[in-house]
């Protein structure tokens, strides 16, 4: 069985738990949450497994590792319906996943993290929060433009691109103070994603 190191409250970790649940892939879970478990990622033993010191991290039974949430999604979803077989559609899935890691996470998720994690209380100044609101709104507008045109980010079917972007978007209003209700494309898409077979919420853990 694979082992997944993941942080229960983190969107990047949630992505992987959601996909594994939907693909019915069993995994052992090691939580690396704040207050205790997170210290694990600072140890030499963990940093040998993943030199970035980040989760999620997958450890395979043969001792190999895979990190970076979206790489993990693509690996496990490879032969499933969640990765299109058409070359161009697959490239569009990649496009949205790189957009997520390069633009969306650094704005939408970072603002939410600053507002919710106790050790980030010093990052709640207007100088820091206001630009994150602006860039996060731009990222959400890019999604909204697409989701007013197609039910999912890449056409008519749910893919790993939707999982990647659902993770931090579904809580962007509650945690990050972004206006999601006013974006009808995103709001309808969030409901579509939630209704996928096998969907689990952020707090689901195998057990």
Q: Of 35 and 45, which has the nearer Cβ to its own copies?
A: 45
Q: Of 103 and 117, which has the nearer Cβ to its own copies?
A: 103
Q: Of 3 and 194, which has the nearer Cβ to its own copies?
A: 3
Contact 66/75 with Cβ under 8 angstroms? yes
Residues 175 and 111: their CA atoms lie apart, in Å, by 8
Q: Of 20 and 72, which has the nearer Cβ to its own copies?
A: 72
Residue 68 CB, nearest approach to its own copies (Å)? 4
Which residues on adjacent β-strands are paired with residue 141?
none
Where on the chain is the footprint of its own copies (CB under 8 A)? 51-52, 64, 66-72, 74-75, 78, 87-88, 90-92, 94-95, 97-99, 101-103, 105-106, 138, 141-142, 145-146
Residue 52 CB, nearest approach to its own copies (Å)? 5
Q: Of 48 and 195, which has the nearer Cβ to its own copies?
A: 48
Residue 140 CB, nearest approach to its own copies (Å)? 11
81, 67, 97, 71: which is closest to 23 by C-alpha? Answer: 81
DSSP for 127-178, written as a single string: HHHHHHHHHHHHHHHHHHHHHTT-SBTTBTS--HHHHHHHHHHTTHHHHH--
CA–CA distance from 125 to each of 80, 99, 119, 121, 131 (Å)?
44, 26, 14, 9, 11
Structure tokens at 76: 């496990």
Q: Of 92 and 175, which has the nearer Cβ to its own copies?
A: 92
Residue 92 CB, nearest approach to its own copies (Å)? 7
Residue 207 CB, nearest approach to its own copies (Å)? 27
């Amino acid at each position: 069985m694979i082992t997944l190191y993941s942080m229960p409250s983190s969107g990047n970790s949630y992505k992987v738990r959601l996909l594994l649940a939907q693909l019915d892939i069993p995994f052992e879970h090691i939580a690396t949450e704040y207050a205790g478990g997170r210290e694990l990622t600072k140890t030499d033993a963990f940093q040998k497994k993943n030199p970035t010191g980040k989760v999620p991290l997958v450890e395979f039974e043969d001792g190999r590792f895979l990190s970076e949430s979206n790489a993990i999604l693509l690996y496990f979803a490879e032969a499933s319906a969640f990765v299109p077989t058409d070359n161009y559609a697959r490239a569009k899935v990649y496009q949205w996943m790189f957009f997520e890691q390069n633009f969306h996470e650094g704005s939408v998720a970072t603002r939410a993290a600053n507002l919710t994690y106790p050790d980030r209380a010093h990052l709640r100044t207007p100088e820091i929060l206001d630009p994150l609101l602006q860039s996060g709104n731009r990222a959400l507008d890019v999604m909204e433009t697409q989701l007013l045109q197609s039910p999912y980010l890449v056409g008519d079917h749910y893919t790993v691109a939707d999982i990647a972007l659902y993770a931090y978007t579904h809580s962007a209003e509650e945690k990050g103070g972004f206006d999601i209700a006013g974006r009808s494309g995103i709001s309808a898409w969030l409901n579509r994603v939630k209704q996928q077979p096998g969907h689990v919420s952020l707090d689901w853990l195998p057990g």
